[in-house]
Amino acid sequence: MASANSAFVNELLEFFRQPVAASANGSPAPAGLTPTQLEVLRLVSQGLGNQQIATQLVITVRTAKWHVSQIFEKLGVRNRSQAIAKARESSLL
C-alpha cells in the first residue's frame, strides 16, 4: 500500500511541476519543453525505455509515457528516432 501511495504522490508532484516552462535560469525552455521533459528526452536519446526512465526519475511508467508523448507532440514527431533527430537538429541534445 505504501508503494501505491508513494507512486500516487510522485505523480501528483510531477503534475504540478508541468506548468513550469522555464529553465533553471528563468529563460523559456527550448521547444516549449519542461525541464523534466528535456531530461526524459536525454534519457530517450540514451536508448532507455519507459520503465528505465521511470526508475531513473522516480516516477511511474505512466508518467514517463505521458512525458514521451508530450515531447512527440511538442517536437511534431511520431516516434523516438524522429524525436532524437529533431532534438539534435534543434540543439536540444
Q: What domains can you pick out in the chain, each with its CATH number?
A: 2-19+37-89 (1.10.10.10)
pLDDT band with cut points at 50, 70 and 90 for residue 14: low
- 511538442: which residue's cell? 74
Q: What is the DSSP letter of 30?
A: G
Q: What is the three-class DSSP state of 22?
A: strand
Phi/psi of residue 58, nearest 5 degrees? 55, 55
pLDDT in tens, 33-48: 999 999 999 999 999 9
What is the tens place of the pLDDT at every residue in 57-81?
999 999 999 999 999 999 999 999 9
How far is the C-alpha of 38 from the C-alpha of 5, rounded, in Å? 26
| CA 1/CA 23 separation, integer angstroms | 35
Closest by alpha carbon to 37, among 85, 89, 83? 83
Residue, of 33 and 2, whose pLDDT is higher: 33
